[in-house]
Structure 1
Amino acid sequence: MTSVALQNFPKVTVTIWRSTRNKDISRSIRFFLWMLIHEGYKVGKFWNSVPTHQQRVICNICGTHETMDHILTQCTAPGQKEVWDLASEMWRLKTGKDLRPAIGQIMAGGVTKHGDPGATRLHKILITESAHLIWRIRNERVIQNTGPAPLAKIRNRWLKTINNRLAIDCAMTDKVKYGKKSLKSSLVKSTWRKTLRGERTLARDRPKTVGVLVGVG
């Protein structure tokens, strides 16, 4: 779904533009979404007009035209499937459902209501953090020529990414330190409930005092 195509779907367009301003999404990922929406990344057909670089039009793993849709939801290079498998495993802990977002859902920052604010918020976090990690892994392989990422490393990087996000959420419940920007403890607990090791401790204590890890992997 390109920025031109989106003009035919005004309601979808509004949702997608809002994703670039959503405060549940980190600033670096909001920029990633902005670039994704504006087709700002140099992939696929961009390289047709660059002398000696036409080979970059094609994914060197899959042998098909490389697009952001292909990179984030279809590519068979290590990274795409493995990251979404982990995200889906965590989403099943939360809701009992799989998580396999299409490119439009990624562009919209995963903004879909899921019955309660916590599940809705976790959906946004999982989709945006996972898509951004897939993009980084792809760039390391294609631009930095690091080769295919080891599966164990992919798993560990995803776990670190999500655990870092959990730690930020817990820290942001400190009203003294963050004032009006602080998060409600109830929202943080609702976001991560059913996904953590140490669940009882999270329910009993203030989130910012709890050392917990996501129960995936």
Structure 2
Amino acid sequence: ECNAPERKLIWSLTRELWSRKYSNWPKLNWGLVLGRNLVQFRTSNGKISREKGRLFAILVSVAWHEIWRLRVDRVLTHPNKIHSELAICTQWLRSINTSLSRDRILADKIKFGMLSFNKELVLYTWSGLLLNEESLPDDWTYTKGF
């Protein structure tokens, strides 16, 4: 239960992004963080929502990694360094965008064949979270300059 300001800000940014698409951000504990890839969410009719579980795993992974990276920098690399809110937000957003780009690239069946990500799952995972999403084509995974 660390009180480092970067931890609070990163989890706040993560919850805020989640709330753009879903309600009820789970109360996190070590079990949920460590088992983030195993968490399953169900729809109102009881079906497992793969895209919701996938987004949860991505967001928790990014947040946890950023908190760890900033703490290493503050404690080991540059002792007592205080990161600005802008720097923290910028790095968190860069990491989220990297995850989005990775999904987009790995959904390319031509490049990756049977190893490619399920394009529909990628599209459903990120829908509702993209900036100016209404101006994007239905399949934005192939859009150059995205």
When the two structures are superposed, what TM-score results if normalisation uses the length of structure 1?
Answer: 0.59
Alignment gaps of 5+ in structure 1: 1-73, 213-217
1:153 is matched by which residue type in structure 2?
A
What residue in structure 1 maps to residue 94 of structure 2?
160
Query: Match of 1:188?
Result: 122
**Per-residue deviation, 1:210:** 6.0
Identity %: 31
Aligned equivalent of 1:105, options 32, 41, 44: 32
**In 2, Cα distance between the equivalents of 1:210 and 1:113?**
33
State the aligned residue count. Answer: 139
Q: Indicate the larger mover: 89-98 or 156-165.
A: 89-98
CA distance in structure 2 between the partners assigned to 1:112 and 1:139 by the alignment: 28
The 1:206/1:194 distance shift into structure 2, 3 A limit, reads: closer
Query: Among residues 79, 103, 109, which one is paired with 1:175 in the alignment?
Result: 109
Correspondence 1:197 to 2:141: no
Whole-Å Cα distance in 1 between the matches of residues 55 and 120 of structure 2?
Answer: 14
Per the alignment, residue 46 of structure 2 pairs with: none
| Gap change, CA 1:105 and 1:155, over 3 Å in 2 | same
Q: Aligned equivalents of 2:19 and 2:91: distance in 1?
A: 20
Provide runs of 4+ in structure 1 moved above 4 Å.
none
* Cα shift at 1:170: 0.6
Q: Which residue of 2 aligns with 1:11?
A: none
Q: CA–CA distance in 1 between the matches of 2:30 and 2:137?
A: 35
Q: Structure 1 residues 76, 210: CA separation in 2 closer, same or farther (over 3 Å shift)?
A: farther
Does the 8 A contact of 1:84 with 1:100 survive in 2? no
Higher relative contact order (CA 8 A, sep 6+): 2
Q: Which residue of 1 aligns with 2:73?
A: 140
Q: Which runs of 5+ in 2 are unaligned?
A: 43-48
- For 1:157 and 1:99, locate their aligned partners in 2 and report how far apart those are by CA, in whole Å: 23
Check if 1:84 corresponds to 2:11: yes
Normalised TM-score (structure 2) = 0.86
